[in-house]
Chains A and B, each alone.
Chain A
Amino acid sequence: GENVEQHPSTLSVQEGDSAVIKCTYSDSASNYFPWYKQELGKRPQLIIDIRSNVGEKKDQRIAVTLNKTAKHFSLHITETQPEDSAVYFCAASMDSNYQLIWGAGTKLIIKP
Chain B
Amino acid sequence: GAVVSQHPSWVICKSGTSVKIECRSLDFQATTMFWYRQFPKQSLMLMATSNEGSKATYEQGVEKDKFLINHASLTLSTLTVTSAHPEDSSFYICSATRGGDEQFFGPGTRLTVL
Contacts and interface: CB of A to CB of B under 8 A. Distances in A.
A99 B46 contact: yes
A32 B103 CA distance: 11
B49 A34 contact: no
Main SS of the interface on chain A? loop
Contact of B44 (A42, A93, A102): A102
Interface size for chain A: under 10, 10 to 19, 20 to 34, or 35 or more residues? Answer: 20 to 34
A43 B102 contact: no
Interface in A30-65: 31-32, 34, 41-46, 49, 51
Given A97-B49, A99-B46, A102-B43, A46 B102 contact: yes
Interface size for chain B: under 10, 10 to 19, 20 to 34, or 35 or more residues? Answer: 20 to 34
B97 A41 contact: no
Interface centre among B34, B43, B105, B107 (most CB of A within 10 A): B43
Given A43-B108, A98-B101, A103 B93 contact: no
A25 interface: no
Contacts, number: 47
B8 to A, nearest CB: 14
B101 A93 contact: yes
Contacts of B91: 41
A104 B110 contact: no
B105 A98 contact: no
B32 interface: yes
A59 B34 CA distance: 27
A104 B43 contact: yes
Interface in B7-65: 32, 34, 42-46, 49
Given A98-B97, A102-B43, A103-B43, A42 B49 contact: no
Contacts of A105: 42-43
B43 A32 contact: no
